[in-house]
Amino acid sequence: MDVPFISNWVLIRLSGFLAYFLFTFSISAGLLSRLAVFQKKRPLMNELHQTSGWAGVLTVIFHMILLWRDRFVTYTLGEIFIPFFSDHAPLASGIGTICFYLFLIVFVTSDFLMKRLGKNLWRKIHLLVIPAWIFMVLHGFLIGTDSNLPWAAFLYGGGVFLVVTIMSLRYLESYFNSLADKNDAKKTP
Ligand code: HEM
């Protein structure tokens, strides 16, 4: 499946990086939408969160089809879909497969099963997005040809910095809100 001038391997890597970008964007938008500063923009943020997440899922499916069709490093469908079953980089590939299932579960339950599952169970399942995202970073970093080069470290490090910063902001905001609630409760006779 070679496109003229672009080898299949380059496309595999590009689709991997695009999925990395889309999932990181999706998680960031989801986390930001809950911050007070974005309260008025919440519908837009939710739209961005869902659309980029689904675009990420489709991009990963493309990534996996390219791997399956590659002539140099051959992956069978079993090696792609059964974790740790592949001859090539079994650990990193297996982490990629688990990551795919986790993201798929999160987005399918959010768009099609949310009402049936109920808010509590849905929220618990939705938290799987955190291990999914960590597995994605590990997969890319471990399997990447250039992970030791500055540009790759910048891409992985940048994504991690962004998500950790937004999570910390969320934590701080809910911490200060709960302090304020406690103070209000003390003041009311
Ligand atoms: C949600 C699922 C996945 C995501 C987000 C993802 C992400 C990525 C990323 C970011 C890269 C670029 C690494 C680099 O070149 O620095 C990559 C490359 C790669 N991925 Fe995945 N991947 C996923 C699933 C899989 C699966 C299931 C397999 C195989 C079983 C796989 C095998 C590979 C291979 C062989 C490369 C090429 C590494 C290289 O030589 O540079 N990926 N992936």
User: What is the pLDDT, as a whole number, of residue 4?
Assistant: 66
On the 0-12 / 13-18 / 19+ scale of CB atoms within 10 A, 114 is middle
User: What is the pLDDT, as a whole number, of residue 189?
Assistant: 63
Q: Where are the domains of the chain?
A: 8-187
User: What is the pLDDT, as a whole number, of residue 72?
Assistant: 87
β-pair partners for 3: 6
DSSP codes, 60-90: HHHHHHHHHH-SSS---HHHHHSTT--SSSH
- Residue among 8, 12, 20 to mutate when testing ligand 1 (max atoms within 8 A of CB): 12
> Which tokens is 136 given?
């994605």
Ligand 1 center from residue 185 Cα (angstroms): 51
- The stretches of the chain forming alpha helices (DSSP H) are 8-33, 42-69, 77-81, 90-112, 114-117, 119-126, 129-143, 150-187
**Helix, strand, or coil here: 18?**
helix
**Helix, strand, or coil here: 30?**
helix
State pTM to two decimals.
Answer: 0.92
Q: DSSP secondary-structure letter at 3?
A: B
> What separation in angstroms does the CA of 176 have from each of 36, 123, 167, 180, 181?
12, 23, 14, 6, 9
On the 0-12 / 13-18 / 19+ scale of CB atoms within 10 A, 39 is exposed
Residues with a CB atom less than 6 Å from ligand 1: 12-13, 16-17, 19-20, 60, 63-64, 67, 75, 80, 86, 93, 96-97, 99-100, 103, 136, 139-140, 143-147, 152
On the 0-12 / 13-18 / 19+ scale of CB atoms within 10 A, 79 is buried
Q: Which distant-in-sequence residues (6+ apart) come within 8 Å of 114 by Cβ?
A: 122
Report d(CA 130, CA 28) in Å as an integer.
11
- Residue among 139, 141, 156, 160 to mutate when testing ligand 1 (max atoms within 8 A of CB): 139
User: What is the pLDDT, as a whole number, of residue 183?
Assistant: 83
Which amino acid residue places its CA nearest to atom 26 of ligand 1?
A: 96
Is 124:84 a contact under the CB 8 Å cutoff? no
**How would you write the pLDDT of the chain (189 residues) with one tens digit per residue?**
556 678 899 999 999 999 999 999 999 999 999 999 999 999 999 999 999 999 999 999 999 999 999 988 889 999 999 999 999 999 999 999 999 999 999 999 998 888 899 999 999 999 999 999 999 999 999 999 999 999 999 999 999 999 999 999 999 999 998 888 888 877 776
